[in-house]
Amino acid sequence: MPLNVVMLGPPASGKGTQAVRLAQARRIPKISTGDILREAAQNGSELGLRAKALMDRGELLGDDEMIAIVKERLARPDAAGGYILDGFPRTVPQAQELDRMVQGDPLVVIDLAVPDAELLKRMQTRRVCGACAAIAEPGWSKETCQRCGGQLTTRADDEDERVRQHRLDVYARESKPLLDYYRGRPTFQSINGAQAPDRVATDLAARIDAMANVPSRTKR
Ligand code: AMP
């Protein structure tokens, strides 16, 4: 059965970092709506320019637009064997629509819990690769991506203190209700995301493997 994972958690909780690791380990694609929008912004498309204006202010794009983007992406052949969603759903209507899209396939829902003070610190110091969108991890140099050798830079929406705080407020208002939406499911897991990335990755792999109905490569 395909492994379909949803990564929940506030900005800078480590969703992207963990999604990449898990995607590589399980050989399924990581689908990051933030990366899709940033790429569109770099390409200068109409969607990209509109998205950039909203992203730079820490606002969300509309549900209908995001749902259409994800629907199209999940329909591609590489997602047929499973996927990791990073940044979607971000609202309850998006989650309801995702349930309709997967048509009963189980979703493993992972929440990365991190205190606000730590999130603000991470946003302030986060560096990302301009070429491959990797997120720099503790121990990396400040300049060079350890995955592809590209140049590390900052995210526009990480630069302004008010935008950083606003994103946490938007998360609390729009995305935190997702925890109640998913909490009752047997495939919902909350993980301490304040640990070092390696520890979070270990916890995450163990929780996924422990879910009896979810096959993993290590168990096969
Ligand atoms: P992220 O890289 O996940 O932090 O997303 C960066 C920005 O992209 C967010 O602050 C939003 O402006 C936008 N965005 C990403 N995913 C979504 C989504 N599912 N719904 C609405 N806006 C989104």
pLDDT for 3-19, tens place per residue? 999 999 999 999 999 99
Contact between 17 and 195 (Cβ < 8 Å):
no
**What spacing in Å lies between the alpha carbon of 163 and ligand 1's midpoint?**
13
Task: Dump pLDDT digits (tens) for 137-193.
Answer: 988 999 999 999 999 999 999 999 999 999 999 999 999 999 999 999 999 999 999
Atom of ligand 1 nearest to the CA of 170: 10
Indicate which residue's Cα is closest to atom 2 of ligand 1.
34
* Contact status, residue 18 vs residue 197, Cβ threshold 8 Å: yes
Whether 73 is catalytic: no
**Cβ-contact 7, 19 below 8 angstroms:** yes
Euclidean distance between CA atoms 116 and 12, whole angstroms: 10
Amino acid identity for residue 199 in this structure: R
- 15 as an active site residue: the answer is yes
In this prediction, residue 213 has a pLDDT band, given cuts at 50, 70 and 90, of low
DSSP states along 116-130 = HHHHHHHHHH--EET
Q: Considering the chain, what is the average pLDDT of its residues?
A: 94
Query: What is d(CA 128, CA 180) in angstroms, rounded to the nearest whole number?
Result: 31
Distance CA 209, CA 3 (A): 11
> CA-based Rg of the chain, rounded to a whole angstrom?
17
Q: What is the pTM of this model?
A: 0.93
Say if residues 84 and 31 touch (Cβ distance below 8 Å): yes
Q: Is 27 a catalytic residue?
A: no
